[in-house]
Amino acid sequence: MKLLIASDIHGCAHATRELMLCFHQDDFDYLVLLGDILNHGPRNPLPLGYDPQATAELLNQDADRIIAVRGNCDSEVDQMMLTFPMMADYNQLLINERRWFLSHGHQYGPDSLPPLRSHDVFVSGHVHVPEIIQGPHCYLLNPGSITMPRGGHPATYAVYDNERISIHRLDDDVVVNELKLA
């Protein structure tokens, strides 16, 4: 299974177009969205290219290949614009005997993990900072943000393919970090 994993779109149609171009060019099985899909949030500035309606239209074209969870900026109104479910606080996948726990990060996070085994993968966004590490309790993945990255990082997303997780820059697809799952 090949996954493209992104978080914190915050209604930016420009970044969504770039993300969907990557999704279609590299023939991914699923697009995993970790919340904060359409709304910029009251504490954030309006992102360049903010257009939640266009963002929803772009994503809805591939609704049957999207797995999503709700972020702290997502609401029932956002769900009414999207044709794929995105209101669950978490989701889980089973890939090669490994549980992937998907969460935005504001309820479950690296400091408040659900029960996981050492070979499982906890995936969250929320902090807008990319990270892949083998933590003491499980692997931790944060793809960063494609719209409002923080900490001096570029806009990023993650890829899972053949037991390898990598983080890529959105603007040129350069790999900035990579980890082989043991």
**pLDDT value, residue 47:** 87
The amino acid occupying position 129 is V
DSSP helix, strand, coil percent of the chain (3-state; round to 5): 15, 30, 50
Tokens in use for 169?
């820059």
* Residue 43 confidence (pLDDT): 83
pTM of the model: 0.96
Q: What b-and-e string marks burial along 76-114, b requiring 16 or more CB atoms within 10 Å of the CB? A: eebbebbebebeeeebebeeeebbbbbbbbbebbbeebe
How many domains does one find in the chain? 1
We report the CATH number of the domain holding residue 27 as 3.60.21.10
| Residue in 30, 35, 37, 34 with CA at minimum distance from that of residue 52 | 37
pLDDT value at residue 41: 84
Distance of CA 77 to the CA centre of its chain: 20
Full domain range(s) for residue 59:
2-180
144-175 burial, b at 16+ Cβ within 10 Å, e below that, comes to: bbbbbbeeebbbbbbbbeeeebbbbbbeeeee
Within 26-170, residue ranges assigned H as helices are 52-60, 76-81
pLDDT of residue 45: 84
pLDDT at 118: 95
Mean pLDDT, consecutive 10-residue stretches, the chain (182 aa), reads 97 97 96 96 86 98 98 96 98 97 96 96 97 95 96 97 97 95 92
Longest dimension (CA), the chain: 41
Identify the CA nearest to 142 among candidates 119, 126, 161.
126
